[in-house]
Amino acid sequence: MEKQLLRLTVNNEYHELYIKPKKLLVEVLRDELGLTGTKRGCNTGACCACTVLLNGVTAKSCSVLAVQADGAEVTTVEGLADGGKLSPLQRSFLDHGAYQCGFCTSGMLMSATALLNENKNPKKEQIKEAIHGNICRCTGYNSIIRAIKAVVEGRYKEEK
């Protein structure tokens, strides 16, 4: 099958590549661009481990054809840190032990990042709603919610 041109800006870096139309966004990110921070979990759209920001809002990269993202801006977990400095959410996740095996962490971070971009002061219920789709099989949800709340409460500032 003929390959098609895909133009994608990932973490502020512009890429042009040729891919088969059946390629999923998660496959392009991981296999073509080597950005393996985005995890491929269930691969059926049920676990949200593969969550990325697509034009600023969350999407499951296993449930989007890469060709449909042509021209889009994508942010993956690798794009959260600024010049090696972790984002407030990333630091808070570390301090709160908001992971065990770590497989859901990048998806959780992306969902939480999207939430805080949209709403600086979410209530606990809104935090739970935002990460509702992200499944953590170690069931560490409480520490994840605490980590996000700590950022909401202003305990983690952007590092200068």
Partner 1 sequence: MIRDFVYLKATTIKEALDLLEQYKDDYKIICGGQSLLILMRQGLVVPKNLIDIKSVKELSYINFKPKEGLKIGATTTHREIEKSSLIKKHYPVLADMEENLASVQTRNWGTIGGNLAHGDPAGDPGPIFIALNASVKMANRERERTIPLEEFFADYFETTLEEGELLIEVQLPTIPPRTATVYEKFNIIKNDQGIVSVAASITMDDDHVSCKDARIVLGAAAATPVRAKKAEQLLRGHKLDNGLLEKIGKMAFEEADPVTDIHATEEYRRHLVKALTKRMVRKAWEQAKTIA
Chain residues in the site for partner 1 (CB under 8 A) = 1, 4, 20-22, 24, 43-45, 48, 51, 54, 57-60, 63-65, 67-68, 111, 114, 129-130, 132-134
Min CB(131)–partner 1 separation in Å: 9
Min CB(24)–partner 1 separation in Å: 8
CB-nearer residue toward partner 1: 54 or 136 = 54
Per-state percent for the chain, helix, strand, coil, to nearest 5? 35, 20, 45
The Cα 90–Cα 77 span in angstroms is 9
Could you give the C-alpha distances from 113 to 16, 57, 65, 119, 127, in angstroms and in order? Answer: 26, 9, 23, 10, 11
CB-nearer residue toward partner 1: 57 or 83 = 57
Min CB(65)–partner 1 separation in Å: 6
